[in-house]
Amino acid sequence: MDTQQFLNSFLKQVRRNIVALISLTVAVTSLSYSTWRNEATEHNRNQRQAGFEILIKLNELQLVIFHNRYDHALLDKGNPRIGWAHVLTVQDLSLLLKEPFPAKSATLLKVWNENWETMSQQQNSVDTILLQIEDVRAETLSMLSALK
């Protein structure tokens, strides 16, 4: 069989099976797009869930600070050890997110570590912690609004 006969035979087979080839191309393309879209959707869902959980924990931390500083409820709702749990949860959740979240949560942990013991006596300690909470909150809200 020479090259010309082979080429003619190949072209005949392509013409006979063009619908099947087009169907296969559409199926593979659709499957690829669906897989990509599902992965993107799952990523956004994970980012969104982690962001919401971070916001909840930041609000709970803020409540601990308010109870501690203004209500002097040190053994109940204002117990700084409860605050530690919230800060560490934010730290863990931020590892699921892209930068700058790990760095911002590390800064929150550092600020909390330096100020939690004096927050019931010093307004400056409260203000420093609240400022860092607001920084993480603003970044979280920005990330959530940017999700598609």
Average per-residue pLDDT for the chain: 90
pLDDT for residue 71: 82
pLDDT at 74 over 80: no
Residue 75 in tokens: 């053994």
Q: Which residue has the higher pLDDT, 79 or 91?
A: 91
Asked whether 61 and 83 are in contact (CB, 8 A), the reply is yes
What pLDDT, on a 0 to 100 scale, did the predictor assign at position 76?
A: 77
Over residues 14-30, the mean pLDDT reads 88
Give CA separation, 35 vs 38, 123, 147, in Å. Answer: 5, 52, 19
CATH of domain 3-146: 1.20.1330
pLDDT tens track for 116-130: 999 988 999 999 999
Domain boundaries, the chain: 3-146
Please report the pLDDT score of residue 135 as a whole number: 96
Structure tokens at 31: 């499957």
Q: Which residue has the higher pLDDT, 58 or 68?
A: 58
Cα(137)–Cα(123) distance, integer angstroms? 21
pLDDT per residue over 84-140, tens digit each? 999 999 999 999 898 899 999 999 999 999 999 999 889 999 999 999 999 999 999
Q: Is the pLDDT of residue 30 over 80?
A: yes
Give the mean model confidence (pLDDT) for residues 69-73: 80
Rounded to two decimals, what is the model's pTM? 0.77
